[in-house]
Amino acid sequence: MRLGEHAGLKDSKPLRDIFGEALLDVVRDNPKVVVLDGDLGNSTKTELVRKAFPERSFNIGIAESNLVCIGAGMAGVGLIPWITSFSSFLLCNAYDQIRLSVAMSKINAKILGSHGGITLGKDGPTQMGIEDLALVGGFPTMVILVPCDPASMRAAVRAATDYEGPVWLRSSRYAMPEVYSQDLDFVIGKANTVREGNDLTIIANGLMVAAGLDAAAELADEGIEARVIDMHTLRPMDVEAIVSAAKETGAIVTAEEHLLHGGFGSNIARVVAENCPVPMRFVGLEDTYVESGDPDELLKKYHLTSGDIENMAREVLAEKRKAK
């Protein structure tokens, strides 16, 4: 079964393609926007901008430290740079430059971390961003956005461009199903409830939102109504939505295409522990690097499917009942 099928979601183009189209739109609309890439325009899809606006597109080459510093310099003179590459390359090769020139300086630069998660598949673990959100989480001034479908990617690109300050946007090679209509209400720092339910809450981001909706549809056949929340902004996190979910449903499952250690589930657990402790379970990558393979097969092997969310939901509900 394809991701989103049980929830009745339609297939879409790869999320990186949607990013390229959305970026081209903001470049057309805002003359201050410029685009920099690390010789990966065909993979990040910034090549769409290069073809249409070559004078506002800059290929810095395979030199991520320079890529970040040049982008920060452009921001310093009033432009709005989109600095783009694979998240693994940016964070492994230019962490210091992102920290000093962008995050610490609170410069108005936007960074695309493409090919996040494991679903780039056959390119293998060297290019998979499985620790990206934990590393970016180390920049206290950085807004962190993780869209889950085409509409939210388009909205996130525009919201990030309009936001005054540093933003990290995660993209993917994977074709994520359509969760939202085009009139999506996307607000930085405000989570979206995409399904109502009172028995437990599934909090997810990225492709795990569709998986969470699939899980909720399956659980409904058993008489279990799961709320599903798209936590598209990891910083600033919507604390109110998390606390309300804990109080109103009494159990939470988090789901992310990322390492559990340092992932967003641990940040949600901190909010829950401080405000309204309830039983929790976590779906994500255990302490391992992932082998190369077909994306859907990798999701199954490393337990990032709707079935894994369902299993955790049943476990957390059993614990919730015991606590009563």
* pLDDT score at 266: 97
pLDDT band of 317, cuts 50, 70, 90: very high
Who wins on pLDDT, 301 or 121?
Answer: 301
Nearest alpha-carbon partner for 231 in 145, 310, 114, 139: 145
Which residues are registered as beta bridge partners of 58? 36
More confidently predicted of 10 and 1 = 10
Q: What is the mean pLDDT of residues 265-285?
A: 98
Q: Determine the pLDDT at residue 122.
A: 81
Confidence at residue 233, expressed as pLDDT on a 0 to 100 scale: 98
Pairing of strands 80-86, 110-114: parallel
Asked if residues 19 and 154 have their Cβ atoms less than 8 Å apart, the reply is no
Quick one: which of 266, 269, 271, 272 has its CA closest to 285?
266
Count CB atoms within 10 A of the CB of residue 218: 18
* 323, pLDDT greater than 80: no
- Arithmetic mean of pLDDT, 52-58: 97
Q: Residue 310: which region, alpha, beta or left (left: phi > 0; alpha: psi -120 to 50)?
A: alpha
Domains and CATH numbers, the chain: 15-170 (3.40.50.970), 192-323 (3.40.50.920)
pLDDT for the residue 99? 98
Report the relative pairing of strands 200-204 and 252-259 from DSSP bridges.
Answer: parallel
Query: Which of 5, 21, 55, 64 does the annotation list as catalytic?
Result: 64
Q: Record the pTM.
A: 0.96
Q: How confident is the model at residue 1, as a pLDDT?
A: 64
Convert 103-117 into a string of H (helix), E (strand) and C (coil).
HCCCCCCEEEEECEE
- The overall average pLDDT reported for the chain is 95
> pLDDT of 237-259, one tens digit each?
999 999 999 999 999 999 999 99
Answer yes or no: 240 catalytic: no
pLDDT number for residue 322 = 87
